[in-house]
């Protein structure tokens, strides 16, 4: 076993030596070969020199002297030393060149491997390029097909558009003809309704003519002595006047008892009484003669589950409506200076942006973030109509001066006029900017926009009649009860009072500390038009005197966030302000 172990050990050493020999031989094989070649060349040169010395005519004799032989050997030794030195330098140069060769060979191998990788990658990229080119050709083909389809649809659209315009013109003419027909029918109906009245009037005139010809009988025998008769001895003139008064009071006036005559008088008085009743029903119950500036909060509460955006008093000042981002419109009853929850109107699919009562106080119109406006009836608190047609949120929804029509403004850069009896849009007015608020009357519409301009429109033609530039985005508009002055609020923290008859600015209302808190902050006139009120971003309530332009009061400490809207009751007694933190405050003068 020991002999076998020693034998294997010797074989292992021999293999390792052979391996080292092969490795070293590979490293120095070229060097050794070059060195051997140099030695051979050196021997050949030495041999050639020796032969040259033997065959030269001045060659020494075969028996040279010892000194000359020593000199020749010394010279040959120096030459041999120089040759050995040159051979060593050449060997070193060969070694350096071999080393550089191996380094270059390694670089060449790495370059070849990298080139192979790049060729593989180039093949992949070429395949990807071919795939992308095929996809581009497919997309171009699909694009051509889509373009052809688009062109055909465009032509079809233009054809339908021309047809629509023609139908709109025809529809407008038909509507105008229908309006004319209805107007003529109304005139005919009024004529027929007035015919009995005219007949009664003629009968009454005849009866009065008959009465004028009937003699009046005065019974003078009914004279009685009364305790307050003047005493005896009074003046004769006084007695005569007294007797004449007594005689007139004692007289009995007799009229004919003609049934038609009495019926005419009964009908006349009945008609007057009914007319008076209707006039009372249509007019607000509380008319403000002098607004009272608020001084303190009478009641404060959390009105909604979200930010309160709008607030409005009813025409009789007894009901308050609030709209919020919680999609609800709430009705509040004011009892003893407090707000009592009365009813909740539901049906909106998104937050409420504006609220408006109709002049009779029987309907509410509200704009919403869901691109619609909704009309509720307060008799049964049911949703009557949903006015849909805008493509962006409705920021303002207002009744016209009469209840049959309404106007809405939206962020889709349009104003729409609606027929509330049909819940249909009768006119669309395109605008160059998003609308923030509107006010309107029978014949004109005023709109405020984000491009810092107020525009006046003719309701009948839909044509812009005037334009008023401001220094900031318009956030709200309000009009006084006489419809002669316009109040605007803008993001440059300025309220402006303008004369609508002259289209000129009367007052610029400013105050230190006032800052408009949002793009929907609402400023309003007092019911008598004497004051302007608005809420600030810091929760303060500012009231200005419109006539003088001076700040009347600034109420602070009741709101903790920006006030979005305010409303002043038509009775002039209360002011309500709402803010972003769901709070509603009821203000009074004491």
pLDDT one-digit tens code per residue, 251-267 = 333 444 444 444 444 44
Q: What is the pLDDT of residue 324?
A: 94
Q: What is the pLDDT of residue 230?
A: 42
Query: How much is the pLDDT for 462?
Result: 84
φ, ψ for residue 547, nearest 5 deg? -70, -45
Question: What is the rounded CA–CA span in Å between residue 277 and residue 296?
Answer: 38
pLDDT at 497: 95
Give the residue ranges of the chain where pLDDT is below 50.
Answer: 59, 216-286
CA distances from 119 to 35, 106, 374, 479 (A): 43, 20, 71, 80
Query: Taking the model in full, what pTM does it have?
Result: 0.54
| Domain covering 296-588, topology | Methylamine Dehydrogenase; Chain H (2.130.10)
Closest CA to 534 of 545, 549, 519, 521: 521
CA distance 478 to 496: 11
Task: Give me the pLDDT at residue 95, please.
Answer: 82
Instruction: Write down the pLDDT at residue 430.
Output: 93
Tell me what pLDDT residue 57 has.
53
Tens-digit pLDDT profile for residues 467-486:
999 999 999 999 998 888 99
d(CA 419, CA 39): 122
CA-nearest of 482, 486, 580, 481 to 535 is: 580
Do residues 288 and 571 make contact, with C-beta atoms less than 8 angstroms apart? Answer: yes
| Pairwise CA distance, residues 445 & 464, whole Å | 9
* pLDDT value at residue 457: 92
Mean pLDDT of the chain: 81
| pLDDT tens readout for residues 9-31 | 778 888 888 887 777 777 677 77
Token duo for residue 286 = 């509380």
Query: Cα–Cα distance between 340 and 137 in angstroms, integer?
Result: 72
Q: Round to whole Å and give the CA distance between 60 and 46.
A: 18
**pLDDT at position 242, please?**
39
């Amino acid at each position: 076993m020991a002999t076998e172990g020693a034998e294997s050990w010797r074989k292992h050493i021999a293999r390792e030596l052979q391996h080292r020999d092969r490795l070293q031989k590979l490293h120095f094989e070229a060097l050794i070969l070059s060195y051997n070649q140099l030695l051979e060349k050196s021997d050949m040169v030495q041999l050639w020199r020796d032969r040259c010395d033997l065959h030269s005519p001045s060659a020494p004799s075969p028996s040279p002297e010892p000194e000359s032989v020593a000199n020749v050997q010394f010279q040959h030794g120096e030459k041999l030393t120089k040759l050995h030195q040159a051979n060593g330098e050449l060997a070193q140069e060969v070694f350096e060149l071999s080393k550089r060769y191996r380094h270059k060979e390694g670089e060449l191998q790495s370059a070849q491997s990298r080139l192979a990788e790049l060729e593989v990658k180039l093949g992949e990229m070429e395949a990807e390029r071919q795939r992308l080119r095929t996809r581009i050709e497919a997309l171009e083909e699909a694009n051509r097909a889509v373009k052809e389809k688009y062109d055909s649809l465009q032509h079809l659209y233009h054809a339908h558009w021309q047809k629509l315009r023609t139908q709109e013109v025809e529809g407008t003419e038909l509507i105008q003809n229908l309006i004319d027909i209805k107007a003529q029918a109304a005139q005919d109906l009024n004529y027929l309704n007035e015919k009995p009245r005219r007949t009664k009037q003629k009968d009454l005139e005849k009866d009065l003519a008959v009465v004028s010809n009937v003699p009046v009988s005065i019974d003078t025998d009914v004279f009685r002595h009364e305790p307050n008769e003047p005493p005896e001895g009074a003046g004769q003139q006084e007695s005569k006047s007294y007797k004449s008064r007594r005689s007139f009071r004692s007289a009995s006036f007799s009229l004919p008892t003609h049934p038609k005559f009495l019926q005419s008088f009964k009908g006349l008085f009945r008609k007057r009484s009914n007319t008076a009743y209707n006039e009372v029903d249509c007019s607000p119950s509380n008319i403000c003669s002098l607004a009272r500036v608020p001084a303190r909060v009478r009641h404060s509460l959390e009105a909604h589950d979200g930010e309160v955006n709008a607030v409005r008093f009813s025409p009789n000042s007894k009901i308050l409506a609030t709209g919020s981002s919680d999609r609800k419109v709430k009705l509040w009853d004011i009892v003893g200076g407090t707000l009592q929850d009365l009813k909740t109107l539901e049906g909106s699919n998104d937050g409420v942006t504006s609220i408006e009562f109709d002049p009779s106080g029987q309907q509410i119109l509200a704009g919403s973030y869901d691109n619609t406006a909704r009309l509720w009836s307060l008799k049964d608190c049911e949703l009557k109509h949903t006015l849909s047609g805008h493509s962006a949120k409705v920021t303002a929804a207002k009744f016209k001066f009469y209840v049959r029509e309404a106007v809405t403004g939206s962020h889709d850069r349009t104003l729409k006029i609606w027929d509330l009896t049909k819940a249909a849009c009768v006119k669309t007015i395109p605008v160059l900017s998003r609308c923030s608020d509107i006010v309107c009357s029978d014949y004109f519409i005023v709109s405020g926009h984000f491009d810092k301009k107020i525009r006046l429109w003719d309701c009948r033609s839909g044509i812009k009649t005037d334009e008023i530039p401001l220094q900031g985005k318009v956030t709200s508009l309000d009009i006084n009860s006489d419809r002669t002055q316009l109040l605007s609020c803008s993001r440059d923290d300025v309220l402006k009072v303008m004369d609508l008859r002259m289209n000129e600015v009367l007052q610029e209302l400013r105050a230190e500390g006032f800052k408009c808190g949002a793009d929907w902050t609402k400023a309003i006139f007092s019911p008598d038009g004497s004051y302007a009120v608005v809420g600030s971003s810091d929760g303060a309530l500012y009231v200005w005197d419109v006539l003088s332009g001076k700040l009347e009061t600034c109420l602070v400490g009741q709101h903790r966030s920006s006030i979005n809207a305010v409303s002043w009751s038509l009775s002039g007694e209360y002011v309500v302000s709402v803010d972003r933190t769901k709070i509603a405050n009821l203000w009074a003068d004491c």
